[in-house]
Amino acid sequence: MRLLTKNKLLTGVLAVLGVAGAGAWVYQLMGGLAVTGMGNANSWGLYIALFMFFVGLSAGGLIVASSASVFHIEKYKAVAMPAIILSTVCICCAGAFVLIDLGGIQRIWHLFASPNLTSPLVWDICVITLYLVINVLYLRFMHKGAERAVAVLSRFALPTAVLVHSVTAWIFGLQIAKEGWFSALMAPIFVASAMDSGLALLLIVLVALNAAGVFETPKRLITSLAGLLATCIAIDGFLIFCEVLTMGYPGGSGAETLAVMTAGSTAPFFWAEVVGGLLVPFLILVFAKNRERTGLVVAASVLVVAGVLCKRLWLLLTSFVIPNIAGAPGVMDGAWTMVGSYAPTVVEVLIVLGVPSLGALAFMALGSRLLVPAAVRETEGAPAAGAAELDLDLEAQTA
């Protein structure tokens, strides 16, 4: 457990947050979702926002790893192992938030006893389970060095990675009653933001592993991944622009929702994502010289991850601000209120901090098992496995 013991302070902090989150979840199980800030007016909150966020974060690792075989991008093989570990941990965190949002986890059996096959929620559970299985198999085959099995599995992994984010988007995009969600662009937006946030997190982790001396990633590969990140940011920004233009164009039906996004209660999250999560990172990474500076790459990556988190918040919460009362007897107050505001409680905050903390501990534990041998070889005078493979590949290409 080298990663866990080498960073004792970090491990201790993560363990405390994890225990606090677990305790808060037990308290929520006892008191029900009434202990959260959610209600009839805002039936979804931080849990679902973080579910969307972690589903997206899991994309970068699996797509980078599987691209090495599917598109014959050999240099990505050097970072395939940490990428798959990261993807596996993130999808587990996403699944945890779904179970937490159920309130009473004992009701999960209804999903299997009487599934509604027309519901995107059921589709999502199925595809996330498949996604997790693929990640686990990918890890097992890579650890055993079964390259042929990895090559075959990668053909299924890449489309599944795209599908899991598309199906998650359809949970929102197929809800006619919520104008801010009902859009054909929802799936492409989710896939694009998953690509840039997942790649950004992978870059942060690779640099951190470099600094810790656990896994060496050559600077040339970091620069290459940063260039790919800049492309993903540009695509994400373009799709957001298309959606906003359609909502705000004269005669469009989304003007009221757009007003909430740009000048209303969710405007801080919207502008933080557009400016801090898209514009600034793109202006940093679009220049080749900046991509060669590790500090700037990490700074841009942190901004991208934070920006996508803000996107999940404004995307989720904006549609709850304006109640849909078409066909209803009117806006009601009291026990069954249809209007209201949402603010997370301490219970929610503790759980939201606890789940990623446990995920980070899981990554460190898996990394200690699967990545440390490379670091051991490095201390004996040989380069880490990832670096050695990439250097041989680059030499072959330039020969």
Which DSSP string do the residues of 138-204 spell out, in sequence order?
HHHHHHHT-HHHHHHHHHHHHHHHHHHHHHHHHHHHT-TT-TTT--TTHHHHHHHHHHHHHHHHHHH
* Helix ranges, 71-119 (H): 80-101, 109-113
Mean pLDDT for the chain overall: 85
End-to-end CA distance of the chain: 40
Q: What would the mean pLDDT of 346-362 be, rounded to a whole number?
A: 95
Identify the weakest region by mean pLDDT among 148-152, 264-268, 387-391: 387-391
Backbone angles phi, psi at 210, to 5 degrees: -60, -50
Mean pLDDT of 117-123: 87
| 220 vs 389: CA distance, rounded Å | 13
- Report the pLDDT value the prediction gives residue 297, as an integer from 0 to 100: 96
Which stretch of 30-34, 141-145, 248-252 has the lowest confidence by average pLDDT? 248-252
Q: Which CATH superfamily is domain 2-324+338-393 in?
A: Formate dehydrogenase/DMSO reductase domain (1.20.1630.10)
Helix (H/G/I), strand (E/B), else coil: 383: coil
> Confidence class of residue 170 from pLDDT cuts 50, 70 and 90?
very high
Mean pLDDT of 136-141: 90
Q: Which amino acid is at 256?
A: E
- Whether the Cβ atoms of residue 47 and residue 101 lie closer than 8 Å to each other: yes
What φ, ψ does residue 118 adopt, rounded to 5°? -90, 0
**3 state SS of 99:** helix
348 pLDDT tier (thresholds 50, 70, 90): very high
Q: Is 50 exceeded by the pLDDT of residue 389?
A: no
pLDDT band at 281 (very low <50, low <70, confident <90, very high): very high
Looking at the chain, the whole-number percentage of residues with pLDDT higher than 70 is 86
Q: Is pLDDT at 378 greater than 60 in this prediction?
A: no
| Average pLDDT, integer, range 245-263 | 84
Q: What is the pLDDT of residue 165?
A: 87
**Alpha-carbon torsion, ordered 292, 294, 295, 296, to 10 deg:** 40
What's the pLDDT score for residue 1?
Answer: 52
Q: What is the pLDDT of residues 91-106, one digit of tens each?
A: 999 999 999 998 777 7
Q: Is the pLDDT of residue 184 over 50?
A: yes
Cα 210 to Cα 215: distance, rounded to the nearest angstrom: 6
SS3 letters across 294-348: HHHHHHHHHHHHHHHHHHHHHHHHHHHHCCCCCCCCCCCCCCCCCCCCCCCCHHH
Task: State both tokens at 253.
Answer: 């039906």
Distance CA 71, CA 56 (A): 21
pLDDT, one tens digit per residue, over 186-216 is: 999 999 999 999 999 999 999 999 988 888 8
| Pair 59, 161: CB distance under 8 Å | yes
| pLDDT at residue 372, rounded to an integer | 63
pLDDT of residue 346: 95
